[in-house]
Amino acid sequence: MPEPAPAAVLAGRHAIVTGGSRGIGAAIAAALAARGADVTLMGRDPSTLSARRERLLADGATGRIATEAADLADAGRLTAGFESAAARLGPAAILVNNAGIAPSAPFAKQTLADWNAVLALDLTAAFLASQRVLPGMIAGGFGRIVNVASTAGLTGYRYVAAYCAAKHGLVGLTRALALETAAQGVTVNAVCPGFTDTDLIAAAARTISAKTGRSEAAARAELARANPQGRLVDPAEVAQMVAFLCQPEAAAITGQAIAIAGGEVLH
């Protein structure tokens, strides 16, 4: 049987992308669809998910594209969403844990509710989602789990203590799970973007502007200066690394936390 064309290297593989309707998640979904994967876009807003699905189809996706609305911070709804996704497109061979939030406040002003909300979506949801898909991956002899962490999972930042804690935890989960599954055809990796040109950064710039009186453009420029290249990361740059890690050719890469940040973090 001939080898599949590079563009279809993921044909027949079901990929679930959480937070897949916008930003980094949308770019990842597009990169996986471009390689022929069947993709389930998972998130909270049905209309945004539906619009992203239509965009992928219009852009020429050859695999099936489905949506699944679920509040991933709710364990019961997450479980139901993954069961529904598997019933529609089959067991997941690829899981991208991308959904997350990053509210900012001085540590003394962060409440327990804030802390719990960040950990529930940024860390616990990845744990639960991975548990949902792993049995099928192991049974099928192939699996790719990619956790979208952050440079905040490799270093510290002011005013986002909960986010840093969650992303450090996500990197630790990645490494532990990679070792447990290394001999079972499953790889588990994390990508750690620096400040990326997404709605999250736009919101951060608005917050900085409101608190300091500086313009949003000045706030964005300040965030970009954290990158030695002097720019924000493009979501497509993150997506291309994720797509590579999901391919069969990346079978020897597991347990890694790959910084995509223009040299901001060296480790």
Q: Domain residues of the chain, as ranges?
A: 10-194+234-252, 195-232
Residue 3 pLDDT exceeds 60? no
**10-194+234-252 CATH:** 3.40.50.720
pLDDT digit string, tens, across residues 83-130: 999 999 999 999 999 999 999 999 999 999 999 999 999 999 999 999
Closest to 28 in 3D by CA, of 178, 237, 259 = 237
Least confidently predicted of 20-34, 156-170, 203-217, 242-256: 203-217
**pLDDT at site 2:** 42
Catalytic residues: 163
d(CA 200, CA 193): 13
The residues, any chain, with a CB within 8 Å of residue 29's CB and separated by 6 or more, are: 15, 17, 20, 39, 41, 52, 56
pLDDT band (50, 70, 90) for residue 201: confident
For the chain, what is the mean pLDDT?
94
Please give the pLDDT value at position 6.
Answer: 58
**Each residue's pLDDT tens digit, 152-178:** 999 999 999 999 999 999 999 999 999
Name 96's bridge partners: 17, 146
pLDDT above 90 covers what percent of the chain? 85
Question: Which whole-number Å values give the CA distances from 243 to 29, 83, 168, 208, 209, in the listed order?
Answer: 9, 24, 22, 33, 35
